[in-house]
A and B are shown apart, each in its own frame.
Chain A
Amino acid sequence: MSIMDIIGGILLIIGSTFLFLGGLGIFRMPDVFNRLQAGTKATTLGGMSLVLGVGFLQPDWIWKSLIIIIFIAYSNPISSHALARATYRRGHYPYIKSEDKENMDAYQEVVPHTKEKEDKA
Protein backbone atom coordinates (compact mmCIF):
# COMPACT_ATOMS: atom_id res chain seq x y z
CA MET A 1 0.00 0.00 0.00
CA SER A 2 1.88 3.01 -1.24
CA ILE A 3 1.22 6.65 -0.51
CA MET A 4 -0.34 6.99 -3.98
CA ASP A 5 -2.90 4.30 -3.16
CA ILE A 6 -3.86 6.09 0.04
CA ILE A 7 -4.28 9.46 -1.67
CA GLY A 8 -6.25 7.82 -4.48
CA GLY A 9 -8.53 6.04 -2.02
CA ILE A 10 -9.20 9.22 -0.08
CA LEU A 11 -10.03 11.07 -3.30
CA LEU A 12 -12.42 8.27 -4.30
CA ILE A 13 -14.20 8.53 -0.94
CA ILE A 14 -14.48 12.33 -1.20
CA GLY A 15 -15.76 12.04 -4.77
CA SER A 16 -18.39 9.45 -4.01
CA THR A 17 -19.54 11.38 -0.94
CA PHE A 18 -20.14 14.52 -2.97
CA LEU A 19 -21.86 12.56 -5.73
CA PHE A 20 -24.15 11.05 -3.11
CA LEU A 21 -24.91 14.49 -1.70
CA GLY A 22 -25.67 15.71 -5.23
CA GLY A 23 -28.15 12.88 -5.66
CA LEU A 24 -29.73 13.66 -2.31
CA GLY A 25 -29.98 17.30 -3.35
CA ILE A 26 -31.78 16.39 -6.55
CA PHE A 27 -34.19 14.38 -4.43
CA ARG A 28 -34.85 17.06 -1.81
CA MET A 29 -34.89 20.37 -3.70
CA PRO A 30 -38.27 21.83 -4.65
CA ASP A 31 -37.85 22.78 -8.32
CA VAL A 32 -35.74 22.36 -11.44
CA PHE A 33 -33.41 25.28 -10.80
CA ASN A 34 -32.52 24.31 -7.25
CA ARG A 35 -32.03 20.72 -8.36
CA LEU A 36 -29.64 21.92 -11.04
CA GLN A 37 -27.76 23.90 -8.39
CA ALA A 38 -27.26 20.81 -6.27
CA GLY A 39 -26.61 18.59 -9.26
CA THR A 40 -24.06 20.80 -10.98
CA LYS A 41 -21.83 21.75 -8.09
CA ALA A 42 -21.74 18.42 -6.33
CA THR A 43 -21.18 16.43 -9.49
CA THR A 44 -18.41 18.75 -10.64
CA LEU A 45 -16.23 18.37 -7.57
CA GLY A 46 -17.38 14.78 -7.06
CA GLY A 47 -16.60 13.73 -10.60
CA MET A 48 -13.29 15.59 -10.55
CA SER A 49 -12.05 13.91 -7.40
CA LEU A 50 -13.26 10.50 -8.56
CA VAL A 51 -11.34 10.80 -11.82
CA LEU A 52 -8.28 12.23 -10.08
CA GLY A 53 -8.42 9.37 -7.58
CA VAL A 54 -8.40 6.88 -10.44
CA GLY A 55 -5.40 8.74 -11.83
CA PHE A 56 -3.56 8.34 -8.53
CA LEU A 57 -4.40 4.64 -8.20
CA GLN A 58 -3.35 3.95 -11.79
CA PRO A 59 -0.44 6.33 -12.55
CA ASP A 60 -0.44 5.49 -16.27
CA TRP A 61 -3.78 7.23 -16.59
CA ILE A 62 -2.96 10.45 -14.76
CA TRP A 63 -2.69 12.56 -17.93
CA LYS A 64 -5.93 11.20 -19.31
CA SER A 65 -7.67 11.92 -16.05
CA LEU A 66 -6.39 15.51 -16.09
CA ILE A 67 -7.91 15.96 -19.55
CA ILE A 68 -11.20 14.54 -18.31
CA ILE A 69 -11.14 16.92 -15.33
CA ILE A 70 -10.70 19.92 -17.63
CA PHE A 71 -13.53 18.62 -19.78
CA ILE A 72 -15.83 18.24 -16.74
CA ALA A 73 -14.98 21.76 -15.55
CA TYR A 74 -15.92 23.15 -18.96
CA SER A 75 -18.94 21.08 -19.90
CA ASN A 76 -20.80 20.82 -16.59
CA PRO A 77 -21.68 24.51 -16.15
CA ILE A 78 -22.51 24.88 -19.84
CA SER A 79 -24.96 22.01 -19.79
CA SER A 80 -26.62 23.23 -16.60
CA HIS A 81 -26.97 26.70 -18.11
CA ALA A 82 -28.59 25.21 -21.21
CA LEU A 83 -30.97 23.14 -19.10
CA ALA A 84 -31.95 26.08 -16.89
CA ARG A 85 -32.53 28.39 -19.84
CA ALA A 86 -34.57 25.84 -21.76
CA THR A 87 -36.62 25.05 -18.67
CA TYR A 88 -37.47 28.70 -18.12
CA ARG A 89 -38.34 29.33 -21.74
CA ARG A 90 -40.52 26.23 -21.78
CA GLY A 91 -42.67 27.81 -19.05
CA HIS A 92 -41.47 26.29 -15.78
CA TYR A 93 -40.79 29.27 -13.54
CA PRO A 94 -38.63 29.13 -10.44
CA TYR A 95 -40.11 28.33 -7.07
CA ILE A 96 -39.96 31.49 -4.97
CA LYS A 97 -40.24 31.25 -1.22
CA SER A 98 -40.24 34.87 -0.11
CA GLU A 99 -43.23 37.25 -0.17
CA ASP A 100 -41.71 39.63 -2.72
CA LYS A 101 -42.52 37.49 -5.75
CA GLU A 102 -42.24 40.24 -8.38
CA ASN A 103 -38.69 41.36 -7.68
CA MET A 104 -37.27 37.93 -7.00
CA ASP A 105 -37.45 36.88 -10.64
CA ALA A 106 -35.47 39.33 -12.77
CA TYR A 107 -35.43 37.06 -15.80
CA GLN A 108 -39.11 37.70 -16.57
CA GLU A 109 -38.13 40.97 -18.24
CA VAL A 110 -36.49 38.84 -20.94
CA VAL A 111 -38.97 35.99 -21.04
CA PRO A 112 -42.40 37.25 -19.90
CA HIS A 113 -44.46 34.74 -17.97
CA THR A 114 -47.14 33.20 -20.09
CA LYS A 115 -48.56 30.79 -17.55
CA GLU A 116 -50.35 32.14 -14.49
CA LYS A 117 -49.33 29.59 -11.94
CA GLU A 118 -45.74 28.88 -11.02
CA ASP A 119 -44.83 25.31 -11.68
CA LYS A 120 -43.53 23.22 -8.82
CA ALA A 121 -42.11 20.35 -10.80
Chain B
Amino acid sequence: MQSLTFNQKLGRFILNWILLMLVWLMFTSTLFWQEVLVGAVVSMLLSLASIRIFTCCDFSILRPDRIFWMIWYFFVFIKALVVANFDVARRVISPSLPINPGIVKFKTKLKTNYSKMVLANSITLTPGTLSVDVVGDTFYIHWIDVETTDPEEAFKIIAEPFEKILLKIF
Protein backbone atom coordinates (compact mmCIF):
# COMPACT_ATOMS: atom_id res chain seq x y z
CA MET B 1 0.00 0.00 0.00
CA GLN B 2 1.44 3.35 -1.01
CA SER B 3 1.63 6.00 1.69
CA LEU B 4 -0.95 8.72 1.30
CA THR B 5 -0.69 12.39 2.11
CA PHE B 6 -3.03 13.85 4.68
CA ASN B 7 -5.10 15.57 1.99
CA GLN B 8 -5.56 12.35 0.04
CA LYS B 9 -6.62 10.55 3.20
CA LEU B 10 -9.07 13.31 4.03
CA GLY B 11 -10.51 13.20 0.51
CA ARG B 12 -10.94 9.43 0.62
CA PHE B 13 -12.46 9.60 4.08
CA ILE B 14 -15.03 12.23 3.12
CA LEU B 15 -15.93 10.55 -0.18
CA ASN B 16 -16.38 7.21 1.57
CA TRP B 17 -18.46 8.87 4.27
CA ILE B 18 -20.76 10.41 1.67
CA LEU B 19 -21.14 7.09 -0.16
CA LEU B 20 -21.97 5.16 3.02
CA MET B 21 -24.37 7.91 4.06
CA LEU B 22 -26.14 7.61 0.69
CA VAL B 23 -26.47 3.85 1.18
CA TRP B 24 -27.91 4.44 4.65
CA LEU B 25 -30.42 6.98 3.36
CA MET B 26 -31.50 4.60 0.59
CA PHE B 27 -31.95 1.76 3.06
CA THR B 28 -33.95 3.70 5.61
CA SER B 29 -35.84 5.73 2.96
CA THR B 30 -36.55 8.50 5.45
CA LEU B 31 -35.20 11.92 6.37
CA PHE B 32 -36.33 11.80 10.01
CA TRP B 33 -33.54 13.56 11.91
CA GLN B 34 -32.78 10.81 14.43
CA GLU B 35 -32.27 8.25 11.67
CA VAL B 36 -30.04 10.63 9.73
CA LEU B 37 -27.97 11.39 12.82
CA VAL B 38 -27.37 7.72 13.63
CA GLY B 39 -26.51 7.10 10.00
CA ALA B 40 -24.00 9.93 9.96
CA VAL B 41 -22.24 8.67 13.08
CA VAL B 42 -22.17 5.03 11.99
CA SER B 43 -20.97 5.78 8.47
CA MET B 44 -18.29 8.11 9.79
CA LEU B 45 -16.93 5.40 12.08
CA LEU B 46 -17.09 2.83 9.26
CA SER B 47 -15.25 5.00 6.80
CA LEU B 48 -12.61 5.81 9.42
CA ALA B 49 -12.11 2.11 10.07
CA SER B 50 -11.93 1.13 6.40
CA ILE B 51 -9.88 4.02 5.04
CA ARG B 52 -6.92 1.87 4.07
CA ILE B 53 -8.85 -1.08 2.70
CA PHE B 54 -12.05 -0.18 0.93
CA THR B 55 -11.44 3.24 -0.52
CA CYS B 56 -10.26 3.54 -4.08
CA CYS B 57 -10.28 7.20 -4.92
CA ASP B 58 -10.35 10.71 -3.59
CA PHE B 59 -12.24 13.67 -5.01
CA SER B 60 -10.32 13.62 -8.30
CA ILE B 61 -12.63 10.78 -9.36
CA LEU B 62 -15.47 13.31 -9.55
CA ARG B 63 -14.02 15.25 -12.49
CA PRO B 64 -16.76 15.80 -15.09
CA ASP B 65 -15.05 13.82 -17.86
CA ARG B 66 -14.56 10.85 -15.53
CA ILE B 67 -18.19 10.98 -14.48
CA PHE B 68 -19.23 11.03 -18.13
CA TRP B 69 -17.15 7.91 -18.85
CA MET B 70 -18.56 6.21 -15.76
CA ILE B 71 -22.10 6.72 -17.02
CA TRP B 72 -21.03 5.57 -20.48
CA TYR B 73 -19.43 2.50 -18.90
CA PHE B 74 -22.69 1.76 -17.11
CA PHE B 75 -24.61 1.64 -20.39
CA VAL B 76 -21.95 -0.45 -22.15
CA PHE B 77 -22.03 -2.83 -19.20
CA ILE B 78 -25.82 -3.17 -19.12
CA LYS B 79 -25.86 -3.91 -22.85
CA ALA B 80 -23.17 -6.58 -22.42
CA LEU B 81 -25.08 -8.08 -19.49
CA VAL B 82 -28.30 -8.43 -21.47
CA VAL B 83 -26.46 -9.86 -24.49
CA ALA B 84 -24.68 -12.31 -22.16
CA ASN B 85 -27.95 -13.54 -20.76
CA PHE B 86 -29.50 -14.19 -24.14
CA ASP B 87 -26.28 -15.88 -25.21
CA VAL B 88 -26.35 -18.24 -22.23
CA ALA B 89 -30.08 -18.84 -22.70
CA ARG B 90 -29.49 -19.78 -26.34
CA ARG B 91 -26.72 -22.23 -25.43
CA VAL B 92 -28.74 -23.80 -22.63
CA ILE B 93 -31.90 -24.26 -24.66
CA SER B 94 -30.42 -25.57 -27.90
CA PRO B 95 -30.43 -29.39 -27.83
CA SER B 96 -26.89 -29.84 -29.17
CA LEU B 97 -25.35 -27.71 -26.37
CA PRO B 98 -23.02 -25.61 -28.61
CA ILE B 99 -20.02 -25.11 -26.34
CA ASN B 100 -16.27 -25.33 -26.89
CA PRO B 101 -14.84 -24.41 -23.49
CA GLY B 102 -11.28 -23.58 -22.55
CA ILE B 103 -9.18 -21.13 -20.57
CA VAL B 104 -7.42 -18.27 -22.35
CA LYS B 105 -5.16 -15.55 -21.01
CA PHE B 106 -4.35 -11.96 -21.89
CA LYS B 107 -2.52 -9.01 -20.43
CA THR B 108 -4.13 -5.77 -19.37
CA LYS B 109 -2.73 -2.25 -19.35
CA LEU B 110 -4.62 -1.27 -16.19
CA LYS B 111 -2.46 -0.46 -13.18
CA THR B 112 -4.50 -0.17 -10.00
CA ASN B 113 -6.05 -3.08 -8.16
CA TYR B 114 -9.43 -1.43 -8.11
CA SER B 115 -9.65 -1.02 -11.89
CA LYS B 116 -8.50 -4.61 -12.40
CA MET B 117 -11.28 -5.77 -10.12
CA VAL B 118 -13.87 -3.78 -12.06
CA LEU B 119 -12.56 -5.22 -15.34
CA ALA B 120 -12.58 -8.79 -14.01
CA ASN B 121 -16.12 -8.43 -12.70
CA SER B 122 -17.30 -6.95 -15.97
CA ILE B 123 -15.68 -9.78 -17.93
CA THR B 124 -17.50 -12.33 -15.80
CA LEU B 125 -20.84 -10.75 -16.63
CA THR B 126 -20.24 -10.44 -20.38
CA PRO B 127 -21.09 -13.08 -23.01
CA GLY B 128 -19.48 -16.46 -22.51
CA THR B 129 -16.58 -15.46 -20.29
CA LEU B 130 -15.73 -16.03 -16.61
CA SER B 131 -12.60 -14.67 -14.97
CA VAL B 132 -10.85 -17.48 -13.13
CA ASP B 133 -7.82 -15.61 -11.81
CA VAL B 134 -5.79 -12.42 -12.07
CA VAL B 135 -2.04 -12.81 -11.57
CA GLY B 136 -0.24 -9.48 -11.76
CA ASP B 137 -1.49 -8.01 -15.03
CA THR B 138 -2.46 -11.33 -16.61
CA PHE B 139 -6.10 -12.35 -16.70
CA TYR B 140 -7.08 -16.02 -16.98
CA ILE B 141 -10.52 -16.31 -18.50
CA HIS B 142 -12.71 -19.37 -18.87
CA TRP B 143 -14.36 -19.00 -22.26
CA ILE B 144 -17.42 -21.08 -23.05
CA ASP B 145 -16.83 -20.89 -26.81
CA VAL B 146 -13.13 -20.34 -27.50
CA GLU B 147 -12.63 -18.42 -30.74
CA THR B 148 -8.88 -17.98 -30.41
CA THR B 149 -6.15 -18.97 -27.97
CA ASP B 150 -3.87 -16.12 -28.97
CA PRO B 151 -3.62 -13.60 -26.06
CA GLU B 152 -3.72 -10.51 -28.30
CA GLU B 153 -6.78 -11.65 -30.22
CA ALA B 154 -8.54 -12.78 -27.07
CA PHE B 155 -7.86 -9.40 -25.49
CA LYS B 156 -9.39 -7.63 -28.48
CA ILE B 157 -12.54 -9.73 -28.34
CA ILE B 158 -13.08 -9.95 -24.58
CA ALA B 159 -11.66 -6.93 -22.83
CA GLU B 160 -10.92 -4.08 -25.18
CA PRO B 161 -14.28 -2.26 -25.11
CA PHE B 162 -14.21 -2.18 -21.31
CA GLU B 163 -10.54 -1.40 -20.86
CA LYS B 164 -10.70 1.56 -23.23
CA ILE B 165 -13.24 3.23 -20.98
CA LEU B 166 -11.63 2.15 -17.69
CA LEU B 167 -8.31 3.70 -18.74
CA LYS B 168 -10.11 7.00 -19.05
CA ILE B 169 -11.79 6.69 -15.65
CA PHE B 170 -8.92 5.51 -13.43
Contact = CB atoms under 8 A, between A and B. Distances in A.
**Contact-size category for A:** 35 or more
Chain B CB count within 10 A is highest, among A22, A29, A104, A106, for A106
Interface in A51-80: 60-61, 63-64, 66-67, 73-74, 76-78, 80
Interface stretch (B4-12, B38-46, B142-150, B161-169): B142-150
Contacts, number: 135
A96 B124 contact: no
B88 A63 contact: no
B121 A74 contact: yes
Given A18-B85, A88-B132, A106-B104, A44 B26 contact: no
A40 B105 contact: no
Interface string A87-107: 010000011111010011111
Contact of B92 (A38, A44, A100): A38
A31 B99 CA distance: 11
Given A42-B89, A104-B102, A85 B132 contact: yes
B140 A110 contact: yes
A40 B130 contact: yes
Nearest to A108: B103
Nearest to A98: B100
B93 interface: yes
Nearest to A81: B131
Interface of B: 23, 25-27, 29, 81-82, 84-85, 87-89, 91-93, 97, 99-105, 120-122, 124-125, 128-133, 135, 140, 142, 144, 146, 149
